[in-house]
Amino acid sequence: MAAELVVMGLGHVGLPLSRAAVSAGLATAGYDVSRPVVHGLTDGRSHVGGVDDADVAAMLRAGFHATDDPAVLDGAQTVVICVPTGLTDRGLPDLSAVEDAAAVVAAHLHPGMLVVLESTSYPGTTEDVVRPLLERGSGLRAGEDFHLAYSPQRIDPGNPTWDVRNTPKIVSGRTALCAKHAVAFYSRFVDQLVVARGTREAEMAKLLENTYRYVNIALVDEVALFCHETGIDIWDVLHCAASKPFGFAPFSPGPGVGGHCIPVDPRYLAARAESQGFAFRTLAAAQDVLSRMPDHVVERALTILTKTAGRPEGARALLLGVTYKPDVADIRETPARQVAAGLLAAGVEVSYHDPYVPEFTVGGTPLPRTENLRDALDRTDVAILLQDHACYARETLGQARCALLDTRGKAVGSRVTLL
């Protein structure tokens, strides 16, 4: 029996989407080119934060199955493409996974099928990249023989409040009828839908959401750099500014940005704009600031080690939290890797503590991991709080015997140095 829905790409976007669809009673299958992912899910193991093994087990009991066989697309009513969109070695948009997925769908496309792209990309991807691949590979016409839509993902790993169902979802279609079919599909498991004028508007809205955060984080980071140079307490500045009930949205400085979206999506926008002769000067300035933050953390740590240990060479540094956001097991694009590399290059012995990350490599070499936080703080020369995990209690950090470089404004104590 054919699945109603096939989700292509069972990662941080596709697996939560599959769970929401299964919970709503849709006969759902998942397709992924990674055999370890498929085998893990088949055995009831989750590889995605926010979806645990019990969730996968419940999905399997409800009829969900994962496969790497594209034949699963045969007869499906709806196919949602949730494959990753990253960057090439030159920092340009890499749509190879989207193109591969579209080619697979095209080979199984049938009249009346709804094909939705959820992968984040630049304006025009649905119309100029996905549509031609689907049409050439199937001989069918989008908007006439099958329905083509774009609906950007809004997954926030580790967020206990907002999930697939209660997060408003943007929906768009190549034609008004395509959009109507997309609305009918998503309304089965999403509470609120926002219909965009077209696919380009929906694609641009997604990039704007993350670029807004990118630019504002860069602004606060640069203010933090200025405050450091002039002896101003950046955390008190932020506390005071955030008291304004209008016209100000609080952002916090840190060691850099990470995750799949924030460091990547603005580059999609900048590359698309550049190809059309438009220069996003704000993005260029933000990238310059954000790229400097890990090195700034390294410089501050080396200064501390020179004061406390005499010199950085042979001194010991402990990284606290190497994920890109608090209380999730996600290290994609984490600034911790650049911080560690900078310290190692200066001859510092680097180890890390993170309850969510059993292994962490830098330049292909595993960093030593410690599990006992108090003992590790006693044995190191400087601890660097990179991520504000809940396990890092304010009192524990403030009472540490070692020096502490706090990039999150959490600790208070005589040995604490703020970013």
Give tens-digit pLDDT for 37-68.
Answer: 999 999 999 999 889 999 999 999 999 999 99
Handedness of CA 91, 97, 100, 105 (dihedral sign): negative
CA-to-CA distance for 228 and 412, rounded, in angstroms? Answer: 17
Q: How far apart are the first and last CA of the chain?
A: 58
Secondary structure (3-state) at 29: strand
DSSP for 119-151 reads S---TTHIIIIIHHHHHHHHS--BTTTBEEEE-
Which of 294, 390, 379 is closest to 344 using CA atoms? Answer: 294
pLDDT band at 131 (very low <50, low <70, confident <90, very high): very high
Q: What percent of the chain has pLDDT over 70?
A: 100
**Least trusted range by pLDDT, from 259-263, 310-314, 368-372:** 259-263
Q: Between 308 and 316, where is the model more confident?
A: 316
Give me the mean pLDDT over the 258-286 stretch: 91
Tell me the one-letter amino acid at 92: L
Q: Quick check: 1 pLDDT over 70?
A: no
Give tens-digit pLDDT for 8-26.
Answer: 999 999 999 999 999 999 9
Model pTM score? 0.92
Q: Quick check: 416 pLDDT over 80?
A: yes
**For the stretch 15-29, what's the b/e string if a residue is b when 16 or more beta carbons lie within 10 angstroms of its beta carbon?**
bbbbbbbbbeebbbb
Do 294 and 256 meet the contact criterion of CB atoms below 8 Å apart? Answer: yes
DSSP for 208-276 reads HHHHHHHHHHHHHHHHHHHHHHHT--HHHHHHHHTT-SSS-------S---SSSTTTHHHHHHHHHHHT
**Least trusted range by pLDDT, from 236-250, 258-272, 355-369:** 258-272
The residues that are catalytic are 261
Give tens-digit pLDDT for 84-123.
Answer: 998 898 888 999 999 999 999 999 999 999 999 999 999 9
Q: What is the pLDDT of residue 261?
A: 86
Q: What is the pLDDT of residue 396?
A: 85
Give me the mean pLDDT over the 317-340 stretch: 95
pLDDT band at 395 (very low <50, low <70, confident <90, very high): confident
Domains of the chain, each with CATH number or no CATH: 5-197 (3.40.50.720), 212-418 (3.40.50.720)
Q: Quick check: 228 pLDDT over 90?
A: yes
- Average model confidence (pLDDT) for the chain? 95
Secondary structure (3-state) at 403: strand
Q: Quick check: 398 pLDDT over 90?
A: no
Residue ranges with strand state E in 9-100: 28-31, 65-67, 78-81, 86-87, 93-94
CA-to-CA distance for 195 and 213, rounded, in angstroms? Answer: 23
**For the stretch 82-112, what's the b/e string if a residue is b when 16 or more beta carbons lie within 10 angstroms of its beta carbon?**
bbbbeeeeeeebbbebbeebbebbbebbeee
Give tens-digit pLDDT for 168-214.
Answer: 999 999 999 999 999 999 999 999 999 999 999 999 999 999 999 99
CA-to-CA distance for 230 and 245, rounded, in angstroms? Answer: 28
CA-to-CA distance for 108 and 64, rounded, in angstroms? Answer: 20
Kindly report the number of other CB atoms within 10 A of residue 326's CB atom.
15
Which of 242, 116, 220 is closest to 174 using CA atoms? Answer: 116
Bridge-based pairing of strands 114-117 and 78-81 is parallel
Handedness of CA 374, 377, 378, 380 (dihedral sign): positive
pLDDT band at 273 (very low <50, low <70, confident <90, very high): very high
Tell me the backbone φ, ψ of residue 343, rounded to 5 degrees.
Answer: -70, -45
- State how far the alpha carbon of 191 is from the alpha carbons of 28, 61, 188, in Å: 19, 25, 8
